[in-house]
Amino acid sequence: MSLAGFNQLTEQEKMDRFMERIEKGDKIEADDWMPDDYRMVLIKLISMHGISEIMGALPEKEWVPKAPSLQKKLGIMAKVQDEMGHGQLLLRVVEDLLEPLGKSREDLMEDLFTGELKFHNVFHMPSPTWGDAGMIAWLVDGAAIMTQTNMLQASYGPYARALHRICAEEVFHAQHGESIIMALAEGTGMQKKMLQESLNRWWESLLMFFGPATAKTTGTSKQDLTIKYRIRTKTNEQLRQDFFTKYVPRVLAIGLQLPDETMYFDQEKGEWIYRQPDWAEFKNIIANNGPMSKSRLRLRKIAYENNQWVREALANP
Ligand SMILES: CC(C)(COP(=O)(O)OP(=O)(O)OC[C@H]1O[C@@H](n2cnc3c(N)ncnc32)[C@H](O)[C@@H]1OP(=O)(O)O)[C@@H](O)C(=O)NCCC(=O)NCCSC(=O)Cc1ccccc1
C-alpha cells in the first residue's frame, strides 16, 4: 500500500495492520507507523537497558586498578569498554524512537540525573572484593544473557539487531567471570570464603534482577504489553526460574552453598520454590536509594560534564 493510501486509514485500521505485521513476525523499523504504547514501552525498556549498561560498567571499573594479575586487568578493562559500547549502541537505537517526540539523547542523560530514568538494581550495589567482580561477570552477565536472548527475535528490528551483537559479547563476559570464579573456588580457604561471601551479598540482587513476578509489587508491569507486541516471549518469573535451573547446579558443583536454605525444586509443580527477596527494598534501591546509587550517579555526572566539549565539537564541526 502507498504511503498516501496508508495515511488515509483510520487509527483502528492502522492498528489492525500493525498487529498483522507483528503476528506474521515482520520487523518494525524506526520510520514505520507504530502505536504510541509500542513506542513508549520500547523507549522505557531500551533506554533503561542502555543506561544500565553504562552504569553497569562502574562497579567493575573499580577493579581495573586492583585486578590481581595483568591478564585479569586486561580482561576486566576490555569488559568495561564493551559495556560502555553496548550502552552507546542502545542509546543510539532509542534516539530514533525519541525523535518524533522532540526528545534527544541528552534529555535521557538529564532524566538519569533527575531520577526519572532508572537503572538496574544490581548496579546500585557495592563490589568490595575481587569475588564480587567475578560474581558480576559470572552471574549478573549470566542473568543479562537470559533476559536479552529472550528478546533476540524482538519485533522491533533495530533493538533485535543490536541484541545479537550484545549477546555475543556478553557470552565472553560470562566466561571471563567463570574463570575468576573457578580460580577462587579452587584456591585457598580465604579465597573460598571470599567467594561464598560475595555470593551471599549478590543473591537477593540477582533474584531482583528479573523484576517482580506481577505488578502487585511495584504497582506497574509492562510484561503483558511487551509479550503482546512480541518484544519478549517469557515473563519475569519464567526467566528467574530458567536462571535457577541453569545456575543452581553450577553454584553447588563448585562447592558453594545457596544463600537460601529453604530453596528446592518442586518436581510436581516443575518449579523452584525460593525465599522472595525484599521487594520493598527493591523499590527503594531503584529509586536511587541503594548503597552506591548516589556516588555512582555523581561519577556519571562528572564524566558527562567533563565531556561536554566533545559533544559541542561534534555538533559544530
Ligand atoms: C526483564 C527486565 C529486567 C524487567 O522486565 P520489565 O518488563 O521492565 O518488568 P516490569 O514491567 O514487570 O517491572 C515493573 C517496574 O520495575 C522496574 N524493574 C523491573 N526490573 C528491574 C530491575 N532489575 N532493576 C530496576 N528496575 C526494574 C521496571 O522498569 C518497572 O518500572 P516502572 O514501574 O515502569 O517505572 C527487563 O527490563 C529487560 O528485559 N530488560 C532488558 C535487558 C536489561 O535491561 N538488562 C540489564 C542491564 S545490562 C546488563 O546487566 C549487562 C551488564 C552486566 C554486568 C556489568 C555491566 C552490564
DSSP-derived 3-state class of residue 259: coil
Cα separation, 24 vs 312, in Å, equals 44
Q: Out of 76, 176, 218, 225, give the residue to mutate to test ligand 1, the one with the largest number of ligand atoms within 8 Å of its CB.
A: 218
Q: Which residues line ligand 1 (CB under 6 A)?
A: 45, 48-49, 52-53, 56-57, 83, 118, 120-121, 136, 140-141, 144, 147-148, 208-212, 218, 220-223, 226, 236, 286
**pLDDT for 221-246, tens place per residue?**
788 899 999 999 999 999 999 999 99
Query: Cα angle at 172 between 171 and 173, to 5 degrees?
Result: 90
Number of residues in the chain: 317
Q: Is the pLDDT of residue 4 over 90?
A: no
Q: Residue whose CA is closest, atom 3 of ligand 1?
A: 210
The 10 Å Cβ neighbour count of residue 255 is 11
- pTM recorded for the entire structure: 0.95
Identify which of 171, 176, 236, 288 to mutate to test ligand 1's pocket (most ligand atoms within 8 A of the CB). 236
Span from the CA of 120 to the centroid of ligand 1 (angstroms): 6
Q: How far, in Å, are 85, 147, 306 from residue 313 at the CA level?
A: 20, 37, 13
Residue of minimum CA distance from atom 23 in ligand 1: 209
CA dist 140 and 125 (Å) reads 12
Decide if pLDDT at 217 tops 70: no
Q: Tell me what ipTM this predicted complex has.
A: 0.96
Provide the total of helices (H) and of strands (E) in the chain, helices listed first.
15, 2
C-alpha–C-alpha distance, residues 167 and 149, integer Å:
7
Q: What is the tens place of the pLDDT at every residue in 257-307? A: 999 999 999 999 999 999 999 999 999 999 999 999 999 999 999 999 999
pLDDT value for 219:
67
For residue 210, report the distance from its CA to the centre of ligand 1, in Å: 7
CB 46 within 8 Å of CB 93 = yes
Ligand 1 center from residue 252 Cα (angstroms): 27
Which architecture characterizes domain 25-210+218-315 according to CATH? Up-down Bundle (1.20)
Q: What is the pLDDT of residues 171-207, one digit of tens each?
A: 999 999 999 999 999 999 999 999 999 999 999 999 9
Q: CA angle at residue 282 from 276 to 284, to 5 degrees?
A: 145
Q: Which of 147, 150, 209, 226 to mutate to test the pocket of ligand 1 (most atoms within 8 A of CB)?
A: 147
Distance (Å) from CA 167 to ligand 1 centroid: 16
Does residue 41 surpass a pLDDT of 70?
yes
Q: Residue 81: count other Cβ atoms within 10 Å of its Cβ.
A: 12
**In whole angstroms, what is the distance from residue 50 CA to residue 54 CA?**
7
The pLDDT tens digits of the residues spanning 133-157 come to: 999 999 999 999 999 999 999 999 9
Q: What is the largest CA-CA distance in the chain?
A: 72
pLDDT at position 168: 95
Index of the ligand 1 atom closest to the CA of residue 217? 14
Q: Ligand 1, atom 10: nearest CA belongs to which residue?
A: 221
DSSP 32: S
Q: What is the number of other CB atoms lying within 10 angstroms of the CB of residue 149?
A: 18
CA of 35 to the centre of ligand 1 (A): 22
Give pLDDT, residue 59: 94
Does the pLDDT of residue 313 top 70, yes or no? yes
Q: Which residues fall within 8 angstroms of residue 61, CB to CB, at 6 or more apart?
A: 80
Answer for the pair 108, 91: CB distance below 8 angstroms, yes or no.
Answer: yes
Q: Where is average pLDDT lowest: 24-28, 125-129, 263-267, 312-316? A: 312-316
Q: What is the pLDDT of residue 151?
A: 97
CA 176 to centroid of ligand 1, rounded, Å: 23
